[in-house]
Chains A and B, each alone.
Chain A
Amino acid sequence: SQKIEQNSEALNIQEGKTATLTCNYTNYSPAYLQWYRQDPGRGPVFLLLIRENEKEKRKERLKVTFDTTLKQSLFHITASQPADSATYLCALAGSSNTGKLIFGQGTTLQVKP
Chain B
Amino acid sequence: NAGVMQNPRHLVRRRGQEARLRCSPMKGHSHVYWYRQLPEEGLKFMVYLQKENIIDESGMPKERFSAEFPKEGPSILRIQQVVRGDSAAYFCASSPPSGTGNEQFFGPGTRLTVL
Judged by a CB distance under 8 angstroms, whether A99 is at the interface is yes
For chain A, give the interface size range: 20 to 34
B contact set with A: CB distance below 8 Å: 4, 31, 33, 35, 41-45, 48, 55-56, 58-59, 91, 93, 95, 99-109
**What does DSSP make chain A's interface, helix, strand, loop or mixed?**
strand
CB distance from B1 to the nearest CB of A (A): 15
CA distance A99 to B103 in the complex (A): 10
Pairwise interchain contact A42-B48, C-beta atoms closer than 8 A: no
Query: A34-B103, A44-B91, A103-B45 are known contacts; what are 6 more A-B pairs with Cβ within 8 Å?
Result: A49-B103, A97-B100, A98-B100, A99-B33, A100-B48, A103-B44
Given contacts A42-B109, A43-B108, contact A101 B103 (CB under 8 A): no
Q: Within 8 Å CB of A97, what residues of B?
A: 99-101
CA distance A31 to B99 in the complex (A): 14
